[in-house]
Chains A and B, each alone.
Chain A
Amino acid sequence: MATTTLDRAAPAGTGTGTAVNGTGNLLRFMLRRDRIRLPAWTLGLPLLMTYFAAALDTIAQTPEDLAGLTVFTSSPAGALFGGPGFGFDDLTIERFLAGQYGLYILLGAGLMGLLTVVRHTRTEERTGRAELVRANVVGRHAQLTAALTLTTVMAALVALLIGAMMTSRGFDAGGSMVFGASVGAVALTFAGIAAVTVQLSEYPRAASGMAGAALGAAFVLRGLGDMAAVQGNGPSWLSWLSPIGWSQQTAAYVHDRWWPLAVSLAFAAATAATGYLLSARRDFGAGLVPPRPGSPRAASWLAGPFAFAFRLHRASLIGWSAALLVAGVAYGSFTQPLLDGFENAPEDLVEVMGGGSGDLLAGYLGMMGLTMALVVGVYAVIAVQSLRAEETEGRAEPVLATSVSRTGWLGSHIAVVALGVPWLLLVAGVGMGIGAAASTGDPGLLGDLLVGHLAHTPAVWLVLSAAALLYAAAPRTLPVIWVLLGYGLIAGYFAPILELPEGVLRLSPFEHVGEYPLEEVSVVAVGVLTVLAGALAQAAVAVFRRRDLAGGA
């Protein structure tokens, strides 16, 4: 599929045949380097789909169960988190799988596409390894060509495996192939987008960040469009601006349309061609956006370990603040459409949404508070992971060789992140509040949302200090902290479906404070969680004094 892309694109650069010299060898080399990653992606996505299919089988054993699910999924909120819901009026298991869960496979495929391209192009250039490669008989476009070919192979594998897996479960073969291909198409479009973003910045993180932002925008655009489509009015054409939207418009198992994927392929071809064109206009190792010189002197406030820790976390805090504000406004503005969608919903469904008291609005707002708390939890864990990188990459060593004590170093970082947690919850709450108030015309919601978001602060603190303790005691065990967050997610979202006993549920730090405004904020829980988090942070700092520091070199 994308081979045509490449053939078409190559003349756009400076050379023709010789510019892609060595592509075959590079491709083999990439396959060798990705011998774990490639199977992980190409098997992981079909396996995730298999898991969804198996899970749905157990949840919806009778047609009535299935019908019960549709009430939510064909609502605006369902459209936002799922898709346009083709054929949901005559629901089957496979239509629900493709129309509701399919979105998350599409997102995964998009990530696969963009990360693979960035990894094999800009990252290689940044580390200087590409320089060694390019000094051999390797054409100017060989690296990008090989990376795009590799991604195409991965996309094709994912498409075929998902198609085969769905067929083997007894679903219509034609629909299964359409669905599989729609997943592969998203990988190709975001590979194309990444082919452009890697030309723009010198830094792989910026390149994948830009492509990731495009993925997020694609998600939001089709969410707004699909909501409008489900409601029957509004800008449903927005879905057609999104690469994810094109894949969803194939309407697998309903219309089985192939032609929207032609749009995806054309887009992938065009973006890849743009990537080639831009790459010919820049120097090796450079980005199209040149780096700016910075200040030759440190600002006067940049003194002491706390100020320094803040300086290191500042960029990420700004990024997270912006993302959470946008996400908050976006999700907040869905409040009124959501209420409209549920106006005629049966009682039992309202209960599923957490509106057991009949107060659906409070249920939705409380749920969003929990969602944002989990997202801020991800921020806290990533921030602690960056500490580990400071140590292993040798940047902590010269700092600790000054008169900064270990306690001061770790304590400052924990303190900065701990202050970042309520700040980010506040930002998310303000965004949600503005969106919800504008959408419903009730400015009072802003206050409710602020309380509902900020109340989760101690729970996120507990995640933060547990992560810090793991890092301080044995850095290798740090990834274990994701289990806690993952459990928080499962307990928060799926507890009613999974019928978890209360005691098990309360193992999650997020299940104690209460989802305000649906539930009252438990002052006792806030106090206990805060004290517990403080104790763990103390322990982290104490333990950190006792171990050897990992070397940089």
Chain B
Amino acid sequence: MSGGLYTQLLDLACGAFLLAAVIVLWMRELASIVRVFALQGIALAAIAVLLGAHEERWDLIAVGIGIGALRAGVLPYLMRRALAALTQDRRRYADGGAETRETQPLVNVAASLLTASLLTLLAYAVARPLTALHPTPATHALPVGLAVVLIGFFVLVTRRRALAQVVGFLLLDNGITATAFLATSGVPLIVELGVSFDVLLAVLVLQILTTRMREAFGTTDIDDLRELHD
């Protein structure tokens, strides 16, 4: 692959990756959020595969495909299943589908998008020493990974639906994986396997807890979790 084409494709994949995170902030319907999250997983896999193709490392391409299967296939499937479970028993709780929407986020959409742009600027400022250490096309795109980490954190603290929080956590995780690929072409395989396995288990645990929360509280609104405080 020629150098120019590689750089352009890499920038395109990174742009799509960041855009997906911003669209998550914009969306309210949880089903669409999960769909956008799956698209972000594909962009992440594309970043890994492009790096692998550029460095002619087949193991990296394989890792990229594995990451894609996990982040664009398995995790969205689990989220959709949790969402379906919430929709299915809608009649039992008679709340007209409020469970599947982010009805009133703590920060409204316009302010969220503004914050996302500020967070992206912050990521570029923070990442300057990182890019300066080893300037390549990949490390020039590194701030994108950090921006998605910050946006993930923002989603985590401002969204009120349990499943939206899970998406925030996964955005955070996607951002870190992207940073790892862009900075160092990925962490060693044994660590990557361990991390992916941990993330998968964490999502499974959170999915089960969501169901229990619905049973115990009758809703998955995090704001209702206020039994424990000092």
Partners in one complex: no
Residues of B within 8 A of A (CB): none
| Interface set of A (CB-CB < 8 Å, partner B) | none
